[in-house]
């Protein structure tokens, strides 16, 4: 499956003649029958896509995928699964997102009455995006680590460079 991101066209209206497709979202681990795209929610620069028949914790245990917009691109961030995922739960059949909070529904979760095939009360799971501490700064000094200059001459530059090592999943 897939999910498509559109924006309003030049006339700032929602009609097929003026919609502008911005992205096609797919699951990195998509498999036949996962039903990726069965549910979709968007809030600001965050999108969540449900795949209620994915098999990560058993047949049709389900999952949801989180994407964020970076400029004009939508980037995969995380795969969510229920904390007590089990076969047949169908987590991701419904999804919702508001700011840094994501909710996913598992309408056939039977934790309230295990073993009873006629009881499927369902469950809802809430996930909160926690702030990520900034990565440590790495100081590079040509006097102590000359680097790839001609003849490894540290005098080729007189400044130290300071930069951050970024974890691609922490970009927001």
Question: Minimal CA–CA distance to 66: which of 78, 57, 82, 56?
Answer: 78
User: Predicted confidence band at 117 (pLDDT cuts at 50, 70, 90)?
Assistant: confident
Chain center to CA of 33: 20
What was the pLDDT predicted at 109? Answer: 83
Map residue 127 onto helix, strand or coil: strand
Burial 155-170 (b: 16+ CB within 10 A, else e): eeeeeeeeeeeeeeee
Q: Specify the pLDDT at position 12.
A: 63
What is the rounded average pLDDT of the residues 7-22? Answer: 69
The band of 165, judged by pLDDT with boundaries at 50, 70 and 90, is very low
- pLDDT confidence of residue 131: 62
Pick the residue with more confidence: 168 or 42?
42
Average pLDDT over residues 145-156: 50
First vs last C-alpha separation in the chain? 26
- 128 pLDDT band, cuts 50/70/90, is confident
Q: How confident is the model at residue 10 (pLDDT cuts 50, 70, 90)?
A: low
- Which one, of 108, 105, 110, 109, lies nearest residue 125 by Cα? 105
Average pLDDT over residues 70-96: 91
pLDDT of residue 111: 77
pLDDT in the model for residue 53: 93
- pLDDT category of residue 172 using cuts at 50, 70 and 90: very low
Task: Of 84, 86, 92, 89, give the one whose Cα is nearest residue 27.
Answer: 92
Range in 48-62, 115-129, 132-146, 147-161 with the lowest mean pLDDT: 147-161
Overall average pLDDT of the 85-114 stretch: 89
What is residue 129's DSSP assignment? Answer: P
Is a pLDDT exceeding 70 seen at residue 168? Answer: no
Question: How far is CA 32 from its chain centroid?
Answer: 20
């Amino acid at each position: 499956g897939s999910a498509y991101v559109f924006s309003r066209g030049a006339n700032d209206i929602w009609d097929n003649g003026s919609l502008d497709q911005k992205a096609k979202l797919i699951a990195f681990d998509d498999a036949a029958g996962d039903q990726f795209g069965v549910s979709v929610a968007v809030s600001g620069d965050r999108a969540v896509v449900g795949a209620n028949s994915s098999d990560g914790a058993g047949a049709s245990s389900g999952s949801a995928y989180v994407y964020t917009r970076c400029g004009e691109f939508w980037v995969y961030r995380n795969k969510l699964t229920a904390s007590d995922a089990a076969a047949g739960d169908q987590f991701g059949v419904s999804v919702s997102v508001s700011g840094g909070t994501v909710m996913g529904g598992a309408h056939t979760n039977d934790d309230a009455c295990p073993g009873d095939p006629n009881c499927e009360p369902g469950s809802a799971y809430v996930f909160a995006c926690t702030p990520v501490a900034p990565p440590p700064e790495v100081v590079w000094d040509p006097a102590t680590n000359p680097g790839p200059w001609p003849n490894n001459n540290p005098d080729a530059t007189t400044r130290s460079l300071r930069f951050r090592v970024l974890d691609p999943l922490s970009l927001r």
